Amino acid sequence: MEKIPGKNRKDKVFLYALSTCAWCKMTKQFLKDNDVEFEYVDVDKCEDEDLDKIKKEILGKGGSLSYPVIIVNDKTLINGFRKDKIKETLGI
């Protein structure tokens, strides 16, 4: 798990991403540009036993296995780089 520091720590922002995915890269950059502190995991680099847990967590929160998956404060899940939704949720 990687932590990207930022001055905006109002919400706990967690990101499931793929290291090869351009949308995920864009999401990481967007959060950095807005100085939002977040943690992320590149799912394609995860160990096998973790994949099942990740799948269950995303599906359990009502999301789809479509990356990036942004989880705010352990409850709000956003699938895909939907800028407006991310801005609205984080109030940025």
Partner 1 sequence: MITLEKVRQRAESDAKTYGYYLNPDAKFLQDLLEGLKSNEERHGYPACPCRLASGKLEIDRDIICPCDYRDPDVAEFGTCYCALYVRKDVFEGKIPVQPVPERRPLGKQTRSYTVAPTTSEKKPEPSTAVAKEPTEIKKKLWYCRQCGYVVFREDPPYICPICKAKREMFAEIAVRIDETG
Residues in contact with partner 1 by CB under 8 A are 18-26, 43-44, 48, 51-52, 54-55, 64-67, 80-82
* Least distance to partner 1, CB of residue 64, Å: 6
**Which of residues 19 and 73 has its CB atom nearest to partner 1 in the complex?**
19
Distance CA 11, CA 33 (A): 16
* Least distance to partner 1, CB of residue 19, Å: 7
* Least distance to partner 1, CB of residue 28, Å: 11
Contact at 8 Å (CB) between 67 and 41? no
Do the bridges between strand 36-42 and strand 76-79 make them parallel or antiparallel, or are there none, so unpaired? Answer: unpaired
Contact at 8 Å (CB) between 67 and 17? yes
